[in-house]
Structure 1
Amino acid sequence: MDFSWSKEQLALKEKAKTFAQEHLNTDVSQKERNNIFPTEEWKKCADFGVLGWPFPKEYGGSGYDIMTAVLMLEGLGYGSSDNGLPFSLNSQMWSTQVAIEAFGTDDQKKKYLRKLISGTVGAFGITEEGSGSDTYALEMTAEKVDGGYILNGEKHYITLAPICEIAVAFATTNPKLGRWGITAFIVDRSMDGFTVSEVRDKVGMRTTPMGNLYFKDCFVPEENRLGKEGSGLSLFSSAMESERGYIFASQIGRMEKQLELTIKYANSRKSFGKTIGNFQAISHRIANMRLRLETSKMHLYKVAYLDQQKLPLMKEAAMAKLYISEAFVESSTDFIRIFGAKGVVTEYEIDRDLRDGLGGLIYSGTSDIQRNIIAKLDGVQ
């Protein structure tokens, strides 16, 4: 595996950094405090091509290979002081868009993937109130009728749900078949019986709206079924490999920014007559931050390499999601501890990384679920 980067790839990463620094950092604290989705910045990202970086040009994408795309997303995270916006972009790209690209018909891709790449907001709805880690314990139903399906049920804790215009929603078309009876559908807000909740308040990632999707006798035409009836398991598994592998690509960029800010502070802040970087307790924390950053990169790049080579990546995606999410929390804690009082006073905006990182231990499958996956794929009975 060659993880060296060409001059062109590094230039694209720098371009993404500069774009984020210049266009994505307006009034972040105010938006974060008030759960405000950065609509203008989202549109700027779409116009800059972010949502289409790894997708085919024929559907409005940029056609970058997967390794180049994740490197650019890293740059985006470095330049953005708002973790929520890059997380929202990654969430939509690696779940909703990937599902439509992988399983959609050409007509579905032209109609929906193009819209999503151009900035329409999409949600990926599988989680229900009683089916979180037990993903396939769905209660939402899809009854086959003339010309389509009638959907009834609710989805909870869904990223971008309150503002979505399109949703990929999972329902059971045959409860007797269990997970093999699950089917996915593309639902849009123009369909009667499809509504969304208000934004649900949460501890971090507050610029990323989270909420519920409601389906009440919602008729979805057969042409909006995504994949074959009963193929929901395969579709979900495919999308989750991408989401788990790449959803925190931008957080790696933020970890790089944290490290730079921390080193600068450690070399300027004095205590007991010398800069605090001279104290072993501080220098060791900084060393750990560097170790986590570089190890996180290796996990991310390995997933991208395997993906690019069309090789199996389920275990590697689970390891990437597990390691990067936990590393971000640990480095964000060190970030606060090194800055001391400034780290816990919100005006310095240092605490936000830790709050934003906590959800990463839950999103896309908890850390415990990732460990289960890894152990099972290693042969643990």
Structure 2
Amino acid sequence: MTRWNADQRALREGLARWYDDLSDGHVERDEEGGFAWDKWKLIRETGILSLPFEERWGGLGQDVLTMMYVLEGLGEGCRDSGLSFSLTTTICSTGVPLEKFGTDEQKQRYLPRICSGEAIGAHAITEASGGSDAMRMLTKADRDGDEFVLNGSKTFVSNAPVADVIVVYARTRPDAGALGITAFLVDADTPGLSVGKPMKKMGLRTSPLSELFFDDVRVPKSQVLGRVGGGFMVLDHVMKREILYSFIVNVGEMQHRLDRCIEYAKSRVQFGKPIGAHQSVANRIVEMKIKLETARKWLYDTGQRLMDGENVTVDLAIAKLLTSESNLESSLSAVQIFGGHGYMSEHGLEKDVRNSVAGTIYSGTTEIQYNRIASMLGLGK
């Protein structure tokens, strides 16, 4: 069990005073499906975006576990899951790879704006034809002197409609496999880059998502993130933090949901006694508790192993799979426990179901995680 020190607890508790304002109107915003700029302004004021980055860029220099601990608090206190997702996307898609692989010039240009929330980040990986198979990406970047010319398209790009800078993964060598992919920092106002209309989706509706189209987009070689051909190294570094940071938010959401169900089960009387006294309801809540604690332990243990420099490929896959599936099951259980009230949108529980489905898809689907674990066990060869 991780024990948090006074400084870590203070960081998390300091965020708590923002929760009511961040959550206010979350059901209505979900119905409207738009990005809430006024809530993003509040996110900027909290300072949470600066936590994992070095002080010289305007950050607070906190480690992976501390960042996770604070994000878990955000999940527990903020009811706008889409807002939380846009926040972690900005941190992981752009800030994390910039700090690890960026040049001093790139860091000076972008990181202070990421830390302050002035700039919103996104990354463009998935393509319509390849889906989860990044090796099949067709977007290409051809060298032309001191520039690269990007052509192609990306889909399902979270934050794209509101992003200021996008990390674009494109093929620089068609015959080099993983070594043929390069990451580029592309400003949203670059000529030739066009952003599609926000896509309507099942959940996380307040986190906008769209396609991107590249028509002879010229990017200076100084905007290469990392090295030419090193895109998969960048992506691997990003995805480790994306899973830890995004899904620890889900753990916080699961904790809030569990607490809400316990309170309801104690106060809701049916057939002469609280529904929590019925074994079928009690067992469902106990199962929610077990899966919550299992997901929490896997994520924090994996975060610690990552900080220790260990190979966490299997750990991440297990943690991601466990958390995403448990979050979905937890949300369905909450609806069942609340009955007709849970089915009504005004209570926000059916929204939780729609939001949680996304977690079984993004950052590698459940099926991809099973395949990854099987591969590491030497199966399927």
Please classify the TM superposition score into its range, dividing by the shorter chain length: over 0.9
For 1:300-354, what per-residue CA distance to the aligned partner results, in whole angstroms no more than 9, with x for missing partners? 1112211222222222112111111111000000000000000111122111111
Q: What residue in structure 2 maps to residue 361 of structure 1?
A: 360
Q: What residue in structure 2 maps to residue 82 of structure 1?
A: 80
Q: What residue in structure 2 maps to residue 53 of structure 1?
A: 51
Q: Which moved more, 1:24-33 or 1:272-281?
A: 24-33
Q: Which moved more, 1:192-201 or 1:235-244?
A: 235-244
Confirm or deny that 1:216 pairs with 2:215: yes
Q: What residue in structure 1 maps to residue 90 of structure 2?
A: 92
Distance 1:97 1:130 in 2: 28
Q: What residue in structure 2 maps to residue 344 of structure 1?
A: 343
Q: What residue in structure 2 maps to residue 182 of structure 1?
A: 181
Q: Secondary structure at the match of 2:83?
A: helix
2:25 is aligned with what amino acid? D
For 1:223-268, what per-residue CA distance to the aligned partner results, in whole angstroms no more than 9, with x for missing partners? 1011111111111112112112321111111111111111110011
Q: Superposition RMSD on alpha carbons, in Å? A: 1.3
For the 8 Å contact 2:27–2:345, the answer to whether it is kept is no
TM-score, normalised by the number of residues in structure 2: 0.96
For the 8 Å contact 1:76–1:250, the answer to whether it is kept is yes
For 1:163-184, what per-residue CA distance to the aligned partner results, in whole angstroms no more than 9, with x for missing partners? 1110000111110212221111
Distance 2:132 2:285 in 1: 34
Distance 1:188 1:12 in 2: 32
Q: What residue in structure 1 maps to residue 276 of structure 2?
A: 277
Q: What residue in structure 2 maps to residue 113 of structure 1?
A: 111
2:333 is aligned with what amino acid? D
For the 8 Å contact 2:68–2:244, the answer to whether it is kept is no
Q: What residue in structure 1 maps to residue 30 of structure 2?
A: 32
Q: What residue in structure 2 maps to residue 375 of structure 1?
A: 374
The correspondence of residues 153-302 of structure 1 with structure 2, limited to 5 A, is 153-302=152-301
Q: What residue in structure 2 maps to residue 311 of structure 1?
A: 310
For the 8 Å contact 1:140–1:154, the answer to whether it is kept is yes
For the 8 Å contact 1:142–1:171, the answer to whether it is kept is yes
**Offset of 1:7 from its aligned partner?**
3.1
Distance 1:34 1:355 in 2: 15
For the 8 Å contact 2:343–2:349, the answer to whether it is kept is yes
For the 8 Å contact 2:139–2:170, the answer to whether it is kept is yes
For the 8 Å contact 1:194–1:218, the answer to whether it is kept is yes
Distance 1:336 1:83 in 2: 17
Distance 2:254 2:248 in 1: 10
Q: Structure 1 residues 187, 105: closer, same or farther in 2, change over 3 A?
A: same
- Structure 1 portions without partners, runs of 5+: none
For the 8 Å contact 2:169–2:184, the answer to whether it is kept is yes
Q: Secondary structure at the match of 1:175?
A: coil
Confirm or deny that 1:43 pairs with 2:41: yes
For the 8 Å contact 2:93–2:121, the answer to whether it is kept is no
Q: Secondary structure at the match of 1:101?
A: helix
For the 8 Å contact 1:55–1:64, the answer to whether it is kept is yes
For the 8 Å contact 1:17–1:77, the answer to whether it is kept is no
Distance 2:9 2:292 in 1: 18
2:138 is aligned with what amino acid? E
Q: What residue in structure 1 maps to residue 148 of structure 2?
A: 149
**Offset of 1:220 from its aligned partner?**
0.3
Q: What residue in structure 1 maps to residue 60 of structure 2?
A: 62
Distance 1:373 1:336 in 2: 32
1:47 is aligned with what amino acid? E
Q: Secondary structure at the match of 1:208?
A: coil
Distance 1:17 1:370 in 2: 33
Q: Secondary structure at the match of 2:202?
A: coil
What percentage of residue pairs aligned between the two structures are identical?
37
TM-score, normalised by the number of residues in structure 1: 0.96
Distance 2:320 2:199 in 1: 24
Distance 1:46 1:62 in 2: 14
**Offset of 1:15 from its aligned partner?**
2.2
Distance 2:300 2:271 in 1: 42
For the 8 Å contact 2:71–2:245, the answer to whether it is kept is no
Q: Secondary structure at the match of 2:134?
A: coil
Q: Which moved more, 1:241-250 or 1:350-359?
A: 241-250
- Structure 2 portions without partners, runs of 5+: none
Q: Secondary structure at the match of 1:248?
A: helix
